[in-house]
Structure 1
Amino acid sequence: MATVLTRPAPAGARAPLARPSAPPPPSGSCAPPLAPPGRDVFIDVLRLFGIALVVLQHWSMPVLSFAGGEITTGNALASGNAWVVTWISQVMPLVFFAGGAANAISRRGAVRRGTAGPVWLAARLRRLAWPVLPLAAVWLPLPHLLLALGLPEQPVVTAARLAGQLLWFLAIYLVAVAATPLMLRLNAAYGLRVPAALAAGAVAVDVVRFTSGLEVVGFVNIGLVWLAVHQLGFLYADGRLRRPWAMAAAGYGLAALLVAFGPYPGSMIGMPGAAVSNMAPPTVALLAVGIGQIGLAAALRGQITAFAAWPGVARVLGWAGPRMMTVYLWHMSALFAVTAIVVVGLGVSTPEPGGAAWLSGWPHWLVVLAVVMGPLLRVFARFEEPPAAAPYRGGAVRIAVAAALAGAGLLTLTLFGFVPGPAPVLGAAALGAGLLLTRSARR
């Protein structure tokens, strides 16, 4: 996951993507300083913070026990009022927002350099999909090997399925990346009206979903909600994300009203046995929380960048940046390995969430997971960057097919995971074919 970002365009840049200069940002806007040019540390920190919090949440919330050859899973955040934590810990809206800013910065830089859209998209697609190949290479044969060694089938199948579910983010993010040139043009012409229209569409989808009972309609919001927060990243890159405190208050306030008086649960992640999930598919309540998070982060931008400038913090960020995609893709594998030894092998169940035993054991659990994650990082971080390739020369149709194949492969692996069968093989093959189409022979 790239961390070196050119500083966003100054506020007021509305039309040409390569506008060389602009007046200072209006009062109350969240705009980066105009000089000196360099990295936008704020976006770097948001992306790293988002992935780190995803890992922390995934490692902290499982409630596990093993009996009769089957593993039982629960969620620690489902106990009591712990769901309130998800209004901060569900950070995928922040990740999409930071990705939108990064894509706007990257695309505008490509336009200034004279790089064609298909060439830019080919490079972004390679960076996004390449790290998934070693994950597939390990997990496609691993369930077969574990079953052949005599491990119980249900835990193996559960782990193989969950190992692929993480890829939902990459599948949707790939769509956002492919749509970036078009959405940037809409942003230049209509500004804030674009995410407002996407949000209005999400509201309409939820109204139809909850009044008609057609749950399938809700999946339209996968595009509308995530593209809406991604589009807000464009406004940040323009310096046009204004009144962040008001944005934070409005987002969280609206979310509170929707949860209190609407059909939405309080948790922003799916909970076991819940009739409705705010996450799958995403709802307007999740969008409101995302707007609140973005406003809060933007309001604290000065403090965040000052903290990131501390020498020790800067060193940590510099080390973590080139490894974040690897951490995201492999942190669940570390969880499965520890679970196989501690829960399945030794028969140790998770204590009652929130109790003294759980609270005292939680730090030790995290340390063990981090220790197991270390070797995975050393082995697979080298795949964070794709190998050097000649500039893409295949044209728009070919790169569109490549993106479609890669997206279909990621979606297939999201739905089926790496459970033994033809689907994961086909998904990995589609992903590989998409990557091959991004390459051009050297002249």
Structure 2
Amino acid sequence: MPRTIEAKPPPATRKRDPFLDLVRAGAILLVVGQHWLMPVLDFHNGQLATGNALSTPGWWLFTWVSQVMPLVFFAGGAANFISLRAQHSRNGTTAEWLANRLHRLLLPVLALIAVWVPLPPLLAALGVPVQPLDIAGGIAAQLLWFLVVYLGTVLITPLAVRAHERFGLAVPGVLALASVLVDVARFDGVPLVGYANAVFVWFAVHQLGFHYVDGFLRTASRARAAGLLVGGYAMTAALVAVGPYPASMVGMPDAPVSNMSPPTACLLAVTCGQIGLMLLLRPLLLRLVRRPALGTALSWIGSRSMTVYLWHMPALIAVAGLAVLGFGYATPEPGSAPWFAVAPLWLGVLGLTLAGLVRLFGGLEAVAKAPRSVPPRTQLVIGGLLAAAGLLGLAAGGFGAPTQPGVLALLEASPLLPSAAVLLGFVLVSQRFRPAIQWTAQTRRQVV
């Protein structure tokens, strides 16, 4: 039987949900802050040593809250559901919605690629050591994994909405079960199977965002929200205690297993806990968001969130490169008094650097609009998949330092081929291509 959605104003007729805006903006800012505080850096004898502050004993517990990628996908799913329904309510087409979403996601990435493809060869030619450049190029591209998966959720949203309306909670339930089966095979030694959970885990979280929009989660009682909070984190604790899931929800250096790369079903338990916490805080957050200053800030971040995400690691690379390689700075012992004393200054300098980068590149995202001539849906899907494949190649290979001298560095295949795939994918989602020959009866007679 088709699922009956609660009799409330349909998503298409409602304005933007300030709670979702606040969750998404807060999650992005928390991702940025965590990434900026995690590195433990030291440069000696031409080699950059890196560590992770979250490997400090006991700090893994912070990751149960600070690993907010589940909230990003949850809010993204809700936003996609609302905007697709709004598009249909205006008699717009799914192709128009896809074109707008894909165009806005990919345009800011092109700026990052344009800067980072030539940058490592240029810096190497200026005498920057290759090993730190390799690390920097890998870090700058590594976070593109998020876009790979998110592009997939955007492409699947029209079908996912239909499945939601017909099967309801059974959809994320089946995806969660699939993620458990993948984990069983992964921990049983089946190679590469764990990466299937990049689909099952994150698509399940994205699907839960639909249940916020239709009211099941948005109107949840405090008891239901508390049940999600307690049940989610209790399940997380049980999975960690029994194993083989690690306690940290972010990847740790030299750890045999990571909950993030690839994702595990344990993240779904964390997702339930985080959603429950946010729902409990929802009344307070809605009161906060009514303040004009916060509303203005949310609007600014919302129109530049992808730019903030893409450029926060280059900001870290620039500041850390200058401080560590240029001035011999070494990160104090995490958790020590010097570490806490330096952290505000560190975050302040990084924030100013990121603000400059967002000012420089943020306009691309803020003004990104769907193409005037909307491509056919099939072309949009092909373009989106091609761009996702290119981004996956960049995330895996990075913008590495060149192994060839001079001009040969630019001819290396590492970032160029996947970058070309991203560019071609963007062209396909931005331009409607008409056949050179209209295949009519007259044309067939001429061919014969």
Report the TM-score when normalising by structure 1.
0.90
How far apart, CA to CA, are the structure 2 residues paired with 1:169 and 1:293? 19
2:307 corresponds, among 323, 326, 331, to 326
* CA deviation map 1:406-426 (0-9, x unaligned): 111111111111124313111
SS in 2 for 1:65: strand
Correspondence for 1:352: 333
Aligned to 2:86: 109
Alignment CA distance shift 1:371-1:34 (3 Å): closer
Give the drift of 1:397.
2.1
Query: What's the counterpart of residue 23 of structure 1?
Result: 7
> Could you tell me how far apart the structure 2 residues matched to 1:287 and 1:35 are?
28
Bigger mean CA deviation after superposition, 280-289 or 415-424: 415-424
Partner SS for 1:63 = strand
Structure 2 residue 227 is the aligned partner of structure 1 residue 227: no
Instruction: Measure how far apart 1:58 and its partner are.
Output: 0.5
**Map of 2:239 onto structure 1:** 258
Bigger Rg, which one: 2
Map 1:105-184 → 2, pairs under 5 A: 105-184=82-161
1:383 corresponds to which letter in structure 2? Answer: L
Superposed CA deviations along residues 218-274 of structure 1, whole A, max 9, x for unmatched, are 111110000111000001111112422211111111000000112111000000111
The answer to whether the aligner puts 1:214 opposite 2:190 as a matched pair is yes
Moved more, 233-242 or 148-157: 233-242
Match of 1:285 in 2: 266
Shift of 1:56: 0.1
C-alpha distance in structure 1 between counterparts of 2:204 and 2:74, whole Å: 9
1:425 aligns with 2:416: yes
Q: 1:388 to 1:208 in 2, by over 3 A?
A: closer
Instruction: List alignment gaps of at least 5 residues for structure 2.
Output: 403-411, 435-448
Q: Pick which of 117-126 and 130-139 moved more.
A: 117-126
CA distance in 2, matches of 1:265, 1:232: 24
- Ranges of 4+ aligned residues in structure 1 off by more than 6 Å: 32-36
Q: Could you tell me how far 1:315 is from its partner in structure 2?
A: 2.7
Q: How far apart in 1 are the matches of 2:94 and 2:379?
A: 12
1:31-46 alignment, distance < 5 Å: 37-46=14-23
Deviation at 1:132, TM superposition (A): 0.4
User: Which of 85, 94, 113 is residue 62 of structure 2 equivalent to?
Assistant: 85
Q: Secondary structure at the match of 1:278?
A: coil
Distance in 2, Cα, partners of 1:389 & 1:219? 32
RMSD (Å), alpha carbons: 2.1
CA distance in 1, matches of 2:263, 2:355: 33
CA–CA distance in 2 between the matches of 1:221 and 1:207?
11
Distance 1:206 1:185, change over 3 A: same
Confirm or deny: 8 A CA contact 1:118 1:392 kept in the other structure. no
Q: Flag the 1:71–1:42 CA change in 2: closer, same or farther, 3 A.
A: same
The structure-2 alpha-carbon separation of the partners of 1:370 and 1:390, relative to structure 1 and needing over 3 Å to count, comes to closer
| Alpha-carbon distance in structure 2 between the residues aligned to 1:73 and 1:195 | 38
The question of 1:314 aligning with 2:298 is answered no
Query: Using the alignment, how far apart are the partners of 2:7 and 2:43 within structure 1?
Result: 63
Scaled by the length of structure 2, what TM-score is found? Answer: 0.89
Q: Mean alpha-carbon deviation: is it higher for 341-350 or for 421-430?
A: 421-430
Which amino acid in 2 is paired with 1:343?
V
Letter in 2 for 1:97: F
Letter of the 1:23 counterpart: A
Per the alignment, do residues 331 and 393 of structure 1 end up closer, same or farther by CA in structure 2, a change over 3 Å counting? closer
Q: Deviations 1:168-210 (Å, cap 9, x if unpaired)?
A: 1011000001000111111001101111111111111111221
Aligned-residue identity in percent: 50
Distance 1:69 1:35 in 2: 57
